[in-house]
Amino acid sequence: MPAAAIPAPPWRAPKKPPAARQPLSAEAVLSAALRLVDRDGLDALSMRRVAQELGTGAASLYAYFANKEELLEQLLDRVIGEVPLPSPAAPDWADEIKRSCYASRAVFCAHRDLVKVARASIPVGPNSLRYTEAMLAVLRGAGIPDRIAAWSLDQLSLVVVADAIEAAIHAERGRRTEADSAPYFAQVRDYLANLPADEFPNLVAMAPTMVEGSGDERFAFAIDLMLGGLARHARGGDGR
Amino acid sequence: MPAAAIPAPPWRAPKKPPAARQPLSAEAVLSAALRLVDRDGLDALSMRRVAQELGTGAASLYAYFANKEELLEQLLDRVIGEVPLPSPAAPDWADEIKRSCYASRAVFCAHRDLVKVARASIPVGPNSLRYTEAMLAVLRGAGIPDRIAAWSLDQLSLVVVADAIEAAIHAERGRRTEADSAPYFAQVRDYLANLPADEFPNLVAMAPTMVEGSGDERFAFAIDLMLGGLARHARGGDGR
DNA sequence: TCTAGCTTCGAACACTGTTCGTGTCAAGTA
DNA sequence: TACTTGACACGAACAGTGTTCGAAGCTAGA
């Protein structure tokens, strides 16, 4: 008669806990990756850690993404999908563009430094395409010629991304609010003010000005500068 | 009588070949690093390979640079030193600024993708300071208010750097000349043209326009857009 | 001549992205 | 029901990274 309940040999036992994980998919990987970036920042996003978040190994991810770059690309597109699309029916086109730029910046800043991956400016993801389409509709609706519209949109995106990256860098270094940043900017100002005045007369004189203005103010200025140059191409002449 | 010319025991011998190397210095490290970037690109620049270029080990570099970031920072400043400074005595300030932006772009592009390291926009190296000083002199000389001058300079640098990065990315992928790029752009154009026309009417209609214009033309447009917005702040009103 | 301090750097650490080959399991076929 | 097939999963390994430690070698001062 066989002995009941023979314990499994311990050295052969461990297997793995089923972990109750759903069967893995590109969607699940992206969600895990985004969770990780939001929690620990872009530098913490390694293939191993994403896999760990899903209770698996790094090799499994390569079934859904050719490489890390592709994963990041799709992750960025997913975030861009959070940006509300501008409406071509808005009464003031310039205002609508401006509002949309602010919205983009806000979305990027809400995901730590993920925006750093936005390098190659040509957008290919579905959400990026939708956004580009909507922006083009607004610009063309304002009577801006196609060439100007296409190139300006490039430049606007560039400014938004660059500004979001800068904001993210500051935030990562603990300068999240204006109050947090004050000591840092004061330091920069003092450094500039104490340069040799004969070689750097302008920098010395402008030291306070150089660090003036909040991130929001500088961003607003950049967008306005761009739109100011753009307005003269819109319907109705030079746009003043 | 001692035997002459006893060969050293081979198993203890190797030591190292003197390699006729000068005693290592921050300058020498930077030169080696720049040589490496120019030859093999930024991705090839690892501490080990820079050290190898100098016939030593990676650990030696840390006597001169706190870390890789500091090395890259100084490397970039060195390259910025190659840009000729704009002259405040130029007859047309806008033209001088434009010329300087072109010169910067050319210098960046001459060093492969090194420009990618230009992220934190606040410049601290001596050459960056000299360049900023000279640009500020031109802008202030044009009667542009200090705040506007400071913020615009930020934006101009941003555009120059971003454009140089984009050019570098294209170049790294073998699209160095316009002829090299043609097949790639044709591909992008066809992709856009074949999107569903009901969801992307503007992108489909503008497909040829989206890829129109050489890198130089687009860069010129970006700078002009910026200067167009800036001109209205210069002495003499809105600058048309 | 002997010591003190500085420069140099081999070896090691803890990571990274990516690939290979095995292992597992469900569906389809005989 | 038994067997095969194919897709998915993933541990282990590879070649590389930035950085640190501690032991050597060298030079200058006593």
Residue B14 located in a structural domain: no
pLDDT digits (tens, 9 = 90+) for B182-226: 999 999 999 999 999 999 999 999 999 999 988 899 999 999 999
Work out the average pLDDT over B103-111: 97
* pLDDT value at B15 more than 60: no
Contact indicator for B181, A240 with CB cutoff of 8 Å: no
Q: Do the chains contact at B226 and A226, CB–CB below 8 Å?
A: yes
> Looking at residue B235, what is its pLDDT?
81
Residue B157 located in a structural domain: yes
Residue B169 located in a structural domain: yes
| Contacts of residue A163, Cβ cutoff 8 Å, sequence gap at least 6 | A105, A215, A218, A219, A222
A170 C-beta neighbours (distance < 10 Å), count: 17
Residue B17 located in a structural domain: no
> Looking at residue A92, what is its pLDDT?
96
For every residue of A115-150, DSSP letters joined together read GGG--S-S--SHHHHHHHHHHHHHHHHTT--HHHHH
Residue A219 and residue A148 share a domain? yes
* pLDDT of chain A, 240 residues: tens digit per residue: 444 444 444 444 443 444 444 568 999 999 999 999 999 999 999 999 999 999 999 999 999 999 999 999 999 999 999 999 999 999 999 999 999 999 999 999 999 999 999 976 677 899 999 999 999 999 999 999 999 999 999 999 999 999 999 999 998 888 888 899 999 999 999 999 999 999 999 999 999 999 998 889 999 999 999 999 998 898 875 544
Alpha carbon A190 to chain centroid distance?
A: 31
User: The domain that contains A31 carries what CATH number?
Assistant: 1.10.10.60
Residue A166 and residue A196 share a domain? yes
Residue B209 and residue B137 share a domain? yes
Tokens 């772009």 label which residue?
A: B105
Q: Do the chains contact at B133 and A240, CB–CB below 8 Å?
A: no
Q: CA separation (Å) from B111 to A159, B76, B220, B230?
A: 24, 10, 21, 30
Residue A173 and residue A119 share a domain? yes
Residue A236 located in a structural domain: no
Q: Which residue has the higher pLDDT, B59 or B2?
A: B59
Contact indicator for B77, B214 with CB cutoff of 8 Å: no
Nearest to A139 by CA among B119, B210, B195: B210
| Proximity of residue B68 CB to strand D below 7 A | yes
Rounded to 10 degrees, the C-alpha dihedral B33/B35/B41/B46 comes to: -30
Q: Which residue has the higher pLDDT, B1 or B24?
A: B24
Nearest to B231 by CA among B142, B113, B134, B120: B142
Q: How confident is the model at residue B121 (pLDDT cuts 50, 70, 90)?
A: low
Contacts of A132 in chain B (CB under 8 A): 203
What six digits make up the tokens of A103? 């919205």
Residue of B nearest to A238 (CA): B240
* pLDDT value at B6 more than 90: no
Cα–Cα dist A120/A130, whole Å = 17
> Looking at residue B11, what is its pLDDT?
39
| Proximity of residue A60 CB to strand D below 7 A | yes
Contacts of B119 in chain A (CB under 8 A): 165, 169
B13 C-beta neighbours (distance < 10 Å), count: 8
> Looking at residue B174, what is its pLDDT?
85
Residue A167 and residue A105 share a domain? yes
Q: Which of B40, B65, B90 is the C-terminal boundary of a domain?
A: B65
Residue B72 located in a structural domain: no
Return positions of chain D under 7 A from a protein CB. Answer: 8-13, 16-22
Q: Which of A35, A65, A95 is the C-terminal boundary of a domain?
A: A65
* Selected residue of B101, B158, B202 to mutate for chain A interface (largest A Cβ count, 10 A): B202
B7 CA, C3 C1': Å apart: 32
Contact indicator for A192, B123 with CB cutoff of 8 Å: no
Residue A8 located in a structural domain: no
> Looking at residue B237, what is its pLDDT?
58
Residue A129 and residue A39 share a domain? no
Tokens 């904001």 label which residue?
A: A167
Give A11 to chain B, closest Cα distance, Å: 43
Residue A102 and residue A57 share a domain? no
Summary mean pLDDT of chain B: 88
> Looking at residue B239, what is its pLDDT?
44
Q: How confident is the model at residue B173 (pLDDT cuts 50, 70, 90)?
A: confident
Residue B7 located in a structural domain: no
Number of domains in chain B: 2
* pLDDT value at B134 more than 60: yes
Residue of A nearest to B198 (CA): A133
Contacts of A87 in chain B (CB under 8 A): none
Q: Which of A36, A65, A94 is the C-terminal boundary of a domain?
A: A65
| Contacts of residue A68, Cβ cutoff 8 Å, sequence gap at least 6 | A47
Contacts of A129 in chain B (CB under 8 A): 195, 200, 203
Residue of B nearest to A200 (CA): B133
> Looking at residue B42, what is its pLDDT?
97
Residue A113 and residue A33 share a domain? no
Return positions of chain C under 7 A from a protein CB. Answer: 7-12, 15-21
Contact indicator for A86, A138 with CB cutoff of 8 Å: yes
Residue A92 and residue A45 share a domain? no
Residue B102 and residue B41 share a domain? no
Nucleotide nearest to A22 (CA to C1'): D9
Work out the average pLDDT over B158-177: 91
For every residue of A78-97, DSSP letters joined together read HHHTTSPPPPTT-S-HHHHH
Percent of chain B scoring above 90 in pLDDT: 77
Can you give the three-state secondary structure of B175-235, one letter per residue? CCCHHHHHHHHHHHHHHHHCCCCCCCHHHHHCHHHHCCCCHHHHHHHHHHHHHHHHHCCCC
pLDDT digits (tens, 9 = 90+) for B16-66: 444 444 568 999 999 999 999 999 999 999 999 999 999 999 999 999 999
Q: Do the chains contact at A147 and B121, CB–CB below 8 Å?
A: no
Q: Do the chains contact at A122 and B203, CB–CB below 8 Å?
A: no
> Looking at residue A8, what is its pLDDT?
47
Cα–Cα dist B196/B185, whole Å = 19
Residues of A (207-236) whose Cβ lies below 8 Å from B: 209-210, 212-213, 218, 221-222, 224-230, 232
Residue A51 and residue A91 share a domain? no
Contact indicator for A167, A215 with CB cutoff of 8 Å: yes
> Looking at residue A93, what is its pLDDT?
95
Residue of A nearest to B195 (CA): A129
B194 CA, C16 C1': Å apart: 39
Interface check for A186 against chain B (CB to CB < 8 A): the answer is no
Work out the average pLDDT over B84-88: 97
Interface check for B120 against chain A (CB to CB < 8 A): the answer is yes
Indicate the SS3 state at residue A216: helix
B26 CA, C1 C1': Å apart: 35
Helices (H), chain B: 26-40, 47-53, 68-80, 93-109, 126-141, 146-172, 178-193, 201-205, 207-210, 215-231
How many residues are listed for chain A in this entry? 240
| Proximity of residue A28 CB to strand D below 7 A | no
What is the domain range of residue B48? 26-65
E strand or H helix at A193: helix A178-193
Give A128 to chain B, closest Cα distance, Å: 12
Interface check for A127 against chain B (CB to CB < 8 A): the answer is no
User: The domain that contains B106 carries what CATH number?
Assistant: 1.10.357.10
Nearest to A104 by CA among A139, A132, A126, A73: A132
Q: CA separation (Å) from B29 to A93, B26, B45, B47, B66?
A: 53, 5, 12, 10, 13
> Looking at residue A90, what is its pLDDT?
95
Residue B197 and residue B111 share a domain? yes
- What burial class does residue A174 get, using C-beta atoms within 10 Å of its C-beta: 0-12 exposed, 13-18 middle, 19+ buried? exposed
Question: Using CB atoms, which residue from B149, B165, B225 is nearest to A230?
Answer: B225
